[in-house]
Structure 1
Amino acid sequence: MLRKERYGKRLVPVVTPFKDDMSVDYEAMVKIGEILLERDNADSFILTGTTGEFFTLTIEERVKIFEVMQKAFGSRVEIIPGTGTASTIHTIELTKIAQKMGFDLVMIVAPYYTKPSQLEIINHFEKIADAVDVDIMLYNIPIFTGVNIEPESLQRLAKKKNIVAIKEEAELRPKQMSEYMLVTPEDFIIYCGDDTMVLEALAQGGDRIGGFVSGGCHLWGDKMKEMIDLFLTGKVIEAGKMQLSLMPIIRVMGQNGRTNPVCLIKGAMEMMGYPRCLPRLPLTPGTPEEMALVREKMKDLGIL
């Protein structure tokens, strides 16, 4: 059984920094991890998630990231490698590697681009679960994958002993999180993947909500911790005001049609003293105009 307390409330999908030549900057990634811990912005690290730009990484690069970060942080913070790919075969391959490295929990995104049916999604995850002996957190993010893990599919998948949790990107389907809770066992954990839904998720799910997967925690992880603590201690109005104060900076990360906020998050991180880290093409850094607006919102929030 997954012990949600082990991973804390703030699971940060650590950015993957790239150099000017688009190679992975492993040294900078370790420095980013150090800053996250030093500033108390994270309870756990997720590697090669969406904010980690897994979609433009090779299998070999992902494995090296697992190795480098495990060596640097394995004794200090819980690490969850993202092992999902568009291919069932490749996902099994990468998940077996993570299992052999000693990780206890992996995160696997729904298969993307192929737009599989619900039966194909079920088959994909069941084959992976049968092939490995490691706990699995499913990752549902329809805005990127083009498919949704429907509650009826999750009900079936949750019967697998090693499928123990799901990360739900909830903004587009705010009611689905509660639907997931209705069709899964009490010990099945729901993680919210949307910074705009933190308090709503806690209000819907209570103890069923394991925590929050938040790329924004690179920037405001301390505020996220304070907001969660306020809510859980009954100071709901104060927590609500804090969530509202975060909305402008969250929204500005998606300006000009940028679906993935990582490009502007990386630019904001550099303003806050993190190592310089570029996104990997085809994603590009924020323009001067975009970053000027990000800087303005960061100042308004008091984090710059």
Structure 2
Amino acid sequence: MKGLYSALMCSFDEQGKVNEQGLREIVRHNIDVSKIDGLYVNGSTGENFLISKEQKKQIFDIVKDEAGDEVKLIAQIGALNIDEAIELAQFATSLGYDAISAVTPFYYKFEFEEIKDYYTTILEHVDNDLIIYSIPALTGVNMNLEQFGELFEHEQVIGVKFTAPDFFLLERIRHAFPDKLIYSGFDEMLLPASVLNVDGAIGSTFNVNGKRAKQIFELAQSGQIDEAREVQKVTNDLIAEILDNGLYQTIKEILIFKGVNAGLCRKPMKSLTDDGISKAKQIAEKYL
């Protein structure tokens, strides 16, 4: 399960429906062109929190059918409705996903015991491994070392997608739990995370910048820090321009420029203007 995973994008049409052919093309691009090790399906990048349960199932099904066993697959099944999370966990497991992942419950200010019960309850209903999805900036849920330790006590909890800039906590988790998987979740911080010996990373920009991401990770692992720093610098230049133009919309437009039917983002996300589309093409030509 180690390695680099694209936080998979999903192609939607003008009505907000899943564009099956486009989704299949995104999967193939990630496997055949970006050369990633796996796909993280129905995460934030897949616009998961804007779609219905049935659409989530449809996406899980299409991705597994297209990818088969070529790469590892992680299904993000987290939801505020725990019954939905359980149903999605069971569905993805039945399809043969290698692991499930669940974002910490958000919006309401849940106590840690409630968060722990959320994970325990999901795992009581599914025979699969689980990766915690920690993204405090979007969920408002900050867990400390001891709390991660309590979650890791469950034998089915095999690791964490750590999307936070707290490298002190990251180092402490790595030191305390050497046998748990730690995936870095910030593409622009891949190098420092790699230096701290994470097991891999899960990133949005890997959909288009997967090759550079693998370079950074592998160079860092081999101790070639100066070389890795140069690749991270170019990567961060790319990320800065993507963010300035609109993260998900620009990645999709770059994929379209590359011949992939990446479709549109779901509302309330806006579409790129003509200037934004032109800028996305310029970014692709400059960096990719």
Taking the aligned partners of 1:75 and 1:62, their CA distance within structure 2 comes to: 20
Partner of 2:257: 271
Asked whether the 8 Å contact 2:23–2:262 carries over to 1, the reply is no
Taking the aligned partners of 1:158 and 1:249, their CA distance within structure 2 comes to: 35
Unaligned 5+ runs, structure 1 = none
After TM superposition, the score normalised by the length of structure 2 is 0.93
Greater displacement, 290-299 / 92-101: 290-299
- Quote the offset at 1:178 in angstroms: 1.4
1:16 partner SS: coil
Deviations 1:67-92 (A, max 9, x none): 12212211322211111111222211
Give the alignment partner of residue 189 of structure 1, picking from 170, 173, 181: 181
Taking the aligned partners of 1:276 and 1:200, their CA distance within structure 2 comes to: 31
Please show how residues 28-39 of structure 1 align to structure 2 within 5 Å.
28-39=22-33
Matched, 1:26 2:20: yes
Give the alignment partner of residue 218 of structure 2, picking from 205, 208, 229: 229
Partner of 2:230: 241
Asked whether the 8 Å contact 2:162–2:182 carries over to 1, the reply is yes
- Quote the offset at 1:291 in angstroms: 4.0
- Quote the offset at 1:249 in angstroms: 1.8
Matched, 1:53 2:47: yes
Partner of 1:250: 239
Asked whether the 8 Å contact 2:195–2:220 carries over to 1, the reply is no
Partner of 2:6: 12
- Quote the offset at 1:136 in angstroms: 0.1
Deviations 1:275-300 (A, max 9, x none): 14100001122233344444444444
Taking the aligned partners of 1:186 and 1:22, their CA distance within structure 2 comes to: 42
- The residue type equivalent to 1:174 in the other structure is F
Partner of 2:206: 217
- The residue type equivalent to 1:196 in the other structure is E
Asked whether the 8 Å contact 1:92–1:132 carries over to 2, the reply is yes
Taking the aligned partners of 1:18 and 1:193, their CA distance within structure 2 comes to: 24
Identity within the alignment, %: 24
- 1:286–1:248 CA distance, 2 compared to 1 (3 A): farther
Asked whether the 8 Å contact 2:242–2:283 carries over to 1, the reply is no
Asked whether the 8 Å contact 2:195–2:221 carries over to 1, the reply is no
1:253 partner SS: helix
- 1:263–1:114 CA distance, 2 compared to 1 (3 A): farther
2:199 partner SS: strand
Asked whether the 8 Å contact 1:84–1:107 carries over to 2, the reply is yes
Unaligned 5+ runs, structure 2 = none
- Quote the offset at 1:139 in angstroms: 0.3
Taking the aligned partners of 1:296 and 1:174, their CA distance within structure 2 comes to: 34
After TM superposition, the score normalised by the length of structure 1 is 0.88
Deviations 1:212-235 (A, max 9, x none): 101111111111122222222232
Deviations 1:112-167 (A, max 9, x none): 22231222212211222233221000101122222223322211000000000100
Asked whether the 8 Å contact 1:248–1:297 carries over to 2, the reply is no
- 1:234–1:71 CA distance, 2 compared to 1 (3 A): same
